[in-house]
Amino acid sequence: MSHTLNLTINGTAQEVTLDDPRVTLLDLLRERLHLTGTKKGCDRGQCGACTVLVNGRRMNACLALALSHDGAEITTIEGLAQGGELHPVQAAFIEHDGMQCGYCTPGQIMSAVGLIAEAQAGADPERIREGMSGNICRCAAYAGITAAVLQATETLTEEAERA
Amino acid sequence: MKPFDYIRPERLGQALSEGAKPGSAYLAGGTNLLDLMKTGAARPERLVDITRLPGLDRWEWGKDGGLRIGAMVRNSDAAHDPDIAAAFPAMAEALLSGASGQLRNAATMGGNVMQQTRCHFFADPFSPCNRRAPGAGCAAQGSDRRGFAVLGGSDACIATHPSDLCVALAALDAVVEIAGPEGLRETPLTDFHLLPGTGPEGHTRLAPGELIIALRLPAAAAGFRHHARYLKLRDRTSFAFALVSATALLRIEDGVIAEARLALGGVAPKPWRATAAEALLQGARPDADSFARAAEAALQGAAGHDAKITLAKRLAARALTQAARGTPARVPALPGSVHSGETAHV
């Protein structure tokens, strides 16, 4: 039996028909919609490489059954930059060298966007490290990642105050 | 992953009749079930998705100050709500000490109570496991017991219950509301999970087709809010399951413990309420001697790994000590960490 679901992905409404209910949100994005920015690391919810925003909240796409998220708004790393301008979190990761090999980076950035939106960590490096613990970096670029999230938090807070 | 049928009911009655059909499993956040389906440890034939059932994704306060939390409330929403954290700070700290930000956004309060052990022999379908395949044997018995039960285990199973939340719920006298084909019923959280005995495959009192619809925290549980901690020892300070954890709750009146609650995690196949320790503490002074005696009582009869038992005693005493000092104004930056409040690392 095939199943149809509707998703808004990076602002674009899409209707997807699945011939198998086993498809995760991660495999749907990568294998069917060819949005390969979202990475598959462990596929078990342990590494965070697959982090996307579902209705604005960060989640592991590998442990999300696509059908269960029918109607959701999904934001992936491909949807962050607007009009050719990097998202402040992306810019901060570059500025602070928050990566080495780069494989975990899309997940790190999506997780940071989600973390900042949750507004629980503020400018406390300890709370940022704790809040980012669902994203493993095999190259251990953690110092740069923490600095990037701190800076992006400041930038986004200033932007919100101006708006 | 084994193929399955997918059903997404929009009414509770429909979900219950679908869930009662053989081979069905309820899907909520999916963070545990999908993981086990990927390894082959869980092999449902039908997934009944309960994410669209009305009314389960909210909480409500009773007039008396009690709290009823719908089963589909996400862990992060419950933990970050200021009123919930103020009334039940140990529960907020337990929730935030568990998993990661991403997982807490997906995982649900009902699903947390239903989660399976993280015993790696259970998750690996090529290892003998009485819980997964009754009668197959228990691969854990011959292994290093550090990650296994030191209380309440049996020759059939020594897997531990992995939940942080449930340790707090056990101490708070939480009640589980259950819907089923026969109607509604409820059970104390401390009676909800089963010890393995000779048949570890049924780890809860849920009958086939039954569904948790809410968790209730009694108003009296908020009386511990000024002296409440959840501490958790693990192999890394964040995003790891408990080696040993403890919820300590105190009511202190005129320098004497009027009432104490102590529950342990990571040490038993279910959240472990230490009632003998609580009885010792009632009427005692909140000092090191009292807490050491309570910790001894809490681990009475423990066996299987001496160092783990010592750790559990020390953590229980430490959680009681920290609870006596007072609940932190805000959940610490490193929830559940014994390093919280100190500069553990820079």
Q: What strands lie across the sheet with A12-18, from one edge to the other?
A: A12-18, A3-9, A73-75, A51-54, A57-60
A135 neighbourhood in chain B, CB within 8 Å: 100
Domain that holds residue A94: 88-162
Average pLDDT over residues B91-96: 98
pLDDT of residue B247: 98
Bridge partners, residue B7, by sequence: B48
What is the domain-level CATH number for residue B280? Answer: 3.30.390.50
Measure CB to CB from residue B106 to each of A64, A115, A132 and give the nearest one. A64
Query: pLDDT per residue over B243-294, tens digit each?
Result: 999 999 999 999 999 999 999 999 999 999 999 999 999 999 999 999 999 9
Same domain, A15 and A58: yes
- DSSP, collapsed to helix, strand or coil, labels residue B36 as helix
Residue B271 falls inside a structural domain: yes
Nearest to B216 by CA among B70, B63, B29: B70
The rounded distance, in Å, linking the Cα atoms of A36 and A33 is 8
Query: pLDDT per residue over B166-196, tens digit each?
Result: 999 999 999 999 999 999 999 999 999 999 9
Residues A113 and A57 sit within 8 Å (Cβ to Cβ): no
What is the domain-level CATH number for residue A72? Answer: 3.10.20.30
- Whether the predicted pLDDT of B345 surpasses 60: no
Interface residue A60 vs chain B (CB under 8 A): yes
pLDDT per residue, tens digit, chain A (163 aa), is 799 999 999 999 999 999 999 999 999 999 999 999 999 999 999 999 999 999 999 999 999 999 999 999 999 999 999 999 999 999 999 999 999 999 999 999 999 999 999 999 999 999 999 999 999 999 999 999 999 999 999 999 999 999 8
What is the domain-level CATH number for residue A92? Answer: 1.10.150.120
First to last CA, chain A: 48
Interface residue A18 vs chain B (CB under 8 A): no
Domain that holds residue B238: 225-325
- Give DSSP secondary structure letters for B92-158: HHHHHTSS-HHHHHH-BHHHHHHPPP--HHHH-TTS-BTTTSTTS-BGGGGS-GGGS-SSS--SS--
Say how many domains are in chain B.
1
The rounded distance, in Å, linking the Cα atoms of B177 and B211 is 9
Same domain, A74 and A9: yes
User: Given A19, A47, A79, which residue is the final one in a domain?
Assistant: A79
pLDDT of residue A1: 79
Same domain, A13 and A53: yes
Average pLDDT over residues B303-311: 97
Distance from CA of B223 to the nearest CA of A (A): 26
Nearest to B325 by CA among B248, B232, B269: B248
Nearest to B176 by CA among B216, B146, B208: B216
User: Given A54, A79, A104, which residue is the final one in a domain?
Assistant: A79
Measure CB to CB from residue A65 to each of B34, B100, B333 and give the nearest one. B34
Say how many domains are in chain A.
2
The rounded distance, in Å, linking the Cα atoms of B42 and B29 is 15
- Whether the predicted pLDDT of B344 surpasses 50: no
Percent of chain B scored above 90 by pLDDT? Answer: 95
Q: What are phi and psi of B173, to 5 degrees?
A: 60, 40
Same domain, A13 and A73: yes
Same domain, A62 and A10: yes
Nearest to A3 by CA among B111, B3, B2, B14: B3
First to last CA, chain B: 43
Percent of chain B scored above 70 by pLDDT? Answer: 98
pLDDT of residue B340: 63
Same domain, A139 and A106: yes
Same domain, A66 and A112: no
Per the prediction, chain B carries an average pLDDT of: 96
> Other C-beta atoms within 10 Å of A65: how many?
22
- Whether the predicted pLDDT of B18 surpasses 80: yes
- Whether the predicted pLDDT of B342 surpasses 60: no
User: Given A79, A111, A129, which residue is the final one in a domain?
Assistant: A79
Helical (H) or strand (E) element with A107: helix A105-118
Same domain, A73 and A109: no
B344 to chain A: nearest residue by CA? Answer: A126
Residue type, B5: D
Chain A interface, best mutation among B100, B118, B239, by max A CB count within 10 A: B100
- Whether the predicted pLDDT of B199 surpasses 90: no
